[in-house]
């Protein structure tokens, strides 16, 4: 009975997909190609560069910033850099400039805001701060400045002692990365070096879809940090975390095999990584051609499929496949609609690496 039911579901799903691919006009009848193409906005990339202190760190932070600016330029993002010094003729301080820059960004848009924090951090047992030339920025202050934003947000704090920023910034539709797992990992963190390189390299594209997600970059960078300390024969002084469920906990890269989680959170919590897997700074050809509305619909369907899979063992087999089919059909319709509007484009060509490994 189960076997025949599975075959019936597979045949139905395949038939739906084939019909839509052969005659994509069926899926596109209700929406014009203009809704799928064009009109796509640009992501905002805000790079915050802290005080380097020693010359060797100033040079490293400058190098990481240059790499990330290049990735942002290739992604055609709106790139803004705050720091490491206050521009000539500016009033106030860098902390004021950072606050005003954040306040000037669009608060409500479907395009993501990426914030990369490159520098050193401190933690006194109560308050974590990102070191800047002039007054430092605390995790609570940054959280307050970001509170009005109602848009997808990715914050990558690559500084030492950065973990408390995860607790302060965690929330819905947000991906928070920190270089450390607590505020007491105070030594210089190398995580940022590997992260900016991963964001601009197809080597980190673990699922081979022609683009590197923030999740993939996090996993790759974390592994490379571990390898550095192992090769050097040193005790690791940094352990990066990722949070995208809003539970303020975060997980390490060893929760994943490839991009699939191999550990489960306690209780009813959702596993981290699903939202991060949908953040791409450098997008593949197909992704670039999707409007923000189409991306949002696609992401919602993907999340619904993830959640359905989480409850598979709690459901009747027939009910599970019925609900899965109800999600896969509109998923196929979405791509069939896009396929009609982009039939002359190659939607699978991977991006070139920006850097040599």
> Is residue 26 one of the residues assigned to a domain?
no
> Is residue 227 one of the residues assigned to a domain?
yes
Mean pLDDT across 325-337: 83
Number of domains in the chain: 1
Q: Which of 57, 44, 28 is nearest to 339 (CA)?
A: 28
> Is residue 269 one of the residues assigned to a domain?
yes
> Is residue 148 one of the residues assigned to a domain?
yes
pLDDT tens per residue across span 238-263: 999 999 999 999 999 999 999 988 88
What is residue 342's predicted lDDT score, i.e. its pLDDT? 61
CA distance 18 to 248: 43
pLDDT tens per residue across span 198-217: 999 999 999 999 999 999 99
The CATH number of residue 119's host domain is 3.40.50.1460
Q: Which DSSP state fits 44?
A: E
Per the DSSP assignment, residues forming a β-bridge with 46 are 80, 115
> Is residue 29 one of the residues assigned to a domain?
no
CA distance 218 to 84: 24
CA distance 25 to 339: 10
> Is residue 189 one of the residues assigned to a domain?
yes
In angstroms, how far is CA 94 from the centroid of its own chain? Answer: 26
Question: CB of 205 within 8 A of CB of 216?
Answer: yes
Question: CB of 180 within 8 A of CB of 240?
Answer: yes
314 against 183, higher pLDDT: 183
> Is residue 8 one of the residues assigned to a domain?
no
- pLDDT over 60 (residue 92): yes
> Is residue 290 one of the residues assigned to a domain?
no
Task: Show the domain range for 210.
Answer: 44-278
């Amino acid at each position: 009975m189960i076997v025949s039911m599975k075959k019936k579901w597979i045949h139905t799903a395949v038939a739906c997909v084939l019909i839509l691919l052969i005659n994509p006009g069926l899926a596109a009848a209700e929406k014009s190609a203009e809704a799928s193409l064009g009109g796509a906005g640009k992501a905002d990339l805000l790079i915050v560069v802290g005080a380097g202190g020693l010359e060797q760190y100033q040079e490293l932070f400058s190098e990481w910033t240059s790499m990330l600016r290049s990735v942002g330029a290739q992604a055609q993002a709106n790139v803004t850099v705050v720091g490491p010094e206050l521009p000539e003729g500016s009033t106030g301080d860098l902390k004021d400039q950072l606050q005003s820059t954040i306040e000037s960004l669009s608060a409500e848009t479907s395009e993501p805001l990426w914030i990369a924090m490159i520098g050193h951090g401190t933690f006194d047992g109560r308050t974590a701060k990102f070191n800047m030339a002039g007054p430092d920025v605390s995790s609570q202050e940054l959280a307050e400045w970001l509170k009005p934003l109602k848009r997808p947000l990715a914050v990558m704090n690559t500084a030492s002692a950065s973990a408390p920023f995860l607790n302060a910034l965690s929330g819905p539709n947000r991906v928070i990365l920190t270089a450390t797992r607590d505020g007491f990992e105070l030594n210089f963190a190398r995580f940022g070096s590997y992260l900016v390189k991963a964001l601009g390299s197809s080597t980190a594209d673990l699922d081979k879809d022609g683009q590197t997600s923030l999740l993939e970059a996090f996993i790759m960078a974390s592994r490379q940090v571990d390898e550095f300390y192992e090769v050097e024969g040193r005790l690791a002084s940094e352990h990066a975390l990722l949070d995208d469920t809003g539970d303020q906990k975060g997980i390490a890269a060893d929760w994943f095999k490839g991009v699939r989680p191999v550990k489960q959170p306690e209780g009813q919590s959702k596993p981290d990584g699903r939202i991060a897997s949908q953040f791409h700074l450098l997008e593949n050809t197909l992704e670039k051609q999707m409007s923000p509305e189409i991306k949002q619909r696609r992401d919602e369907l993907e999340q619904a499929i993830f959640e359905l899979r989480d409850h598979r063992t709690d459901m009747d087999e027939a009910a599970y496949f019925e609900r899965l089919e109800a999600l896969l059909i509109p998923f196929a319709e979405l791509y069939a609609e896009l396929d009609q509007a982009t039939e002359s484009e190659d939607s699978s060509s991977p991006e070139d690496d920006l850097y040599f490994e």
